[in-house]
Amino acid sequence: MRLPQNRKVVVLGYAAATALGADFASSWQGAAAGKAGFRRLSRCQVETRCNVVGEIPDFNPAALPYVGAKDAAMWNAAFVFLTMEMCRQALDDAGFTIDAATSPRTACLIGSALNGADAYRIAMDNYTRLGPLKVSPYLLPNLCANLPAGKTGMLLGFTGPIFSPQGACASGNHAIAIGARMIQTGDCDFALVGGAETCLTPEVILGFANMLATIKVGEQDRAFADPTQASRPFSLDRKGFVLAEGAAV
């Protein structure tokens, strides 16, 4: 990187998919109203009391206008299309157009801690049930941290720098900081930055549970009847965090 030119960095647009909604407006409105989107796990079957999670409601990659059934089957790591859609929404929110002038000067930095863990889960299931020839050749690119940003560039038409920082729970923050620095130094003029995580697989859920990191909801817990009560980091009866998927750009 070059020395900082002290160029001012401003935010032009936003996009988010959370347990409160699959877009920024619904996520913001829910958060501003003090709502919590946590619920019982429905994405998969797991034998654990750590079964209150944050699932993105109503997000179906196959329903996106630029995703066909074949694409949805091949690129089965959900963070790929989640990133693509959030970047598209962020550009729309900003009123920004990718053209011949802006394309090479637009970067994309999307952080993810676990990448395509869900694609690996599908591949292992196919291997054990159907045999070695049923492991998709698309498994390896689905596991690559840079794939969502790369696919987003193909969709939206930018050709600037692509980078996918990994720093556990701070991966998205790293992407934002590095993107801002790249604008300051003149490495790019525009940057799509943020994070995406689709971590609700049995292995990841049980890994956090056995780490004693996520909340175990028993019958006596107030979240047993109302799962939205599970996340309470500043309460005396705090028992752990709630694992959730989501993305923001």
Residue 6 CA to residue 232 CA, distance in Å, equals: 40
Residue 201 CA to residue 46 CA, distance in Å, equals: 9
- pLDDT the model gives residue 2: 62
Element (H, E) at 242: none
Place of tokens 């028993």: 218
- pLDDT the model gives residue 6: 78
Q: How do beta strands 246-248 and 16-17 pair?
A: antiparallel
In CATH, the architecture of 16-248 is 3-Layer(aba) Sandwich (3.40)
In 3D, which of 64, 65, 40 has the Cα closest to residue 53?
A: 40
List the pLDDT tens digit at each of the 249 positions of the chain.
566 677 899 999 999 999 999 999 999 999 999 999 999 999 888 999 999 999 999 888 989 999 988 898 899 999 999 999 999 999 999 999 999 999 999 999 999 999 888 999 999 999 999 999 999 999 999 999 999 999 999 999 999 999 899 999 999 999 999 999 999 999 999 999 999 999 999 999 999 999 999 999 999 999 999 999 999 999 999 999 999 999 999
Q: What amino acid is encoded at 196 in this protein?
A: A
3-state secondary structure of 181: helix
3-state secondary structure of 142: helix
The CA dihedral of 223, 227, 229, 234, to the nearest 10 degrees, is 90
- pLDDT the model gives residue 22: 95
- pLDDT the model gives residue 117: 87
pTM of the model: 0.93
3-state secondary structure of 29: helix
Cα–chain-centroid distance for residue 17? 8
As to burial, measured by CB atoms within 10 angstroms (0-12 exposed, 13-18 middle, 19+ buried), residue 49 is middle
Cα–chain-centroid distance for residue 107? 18
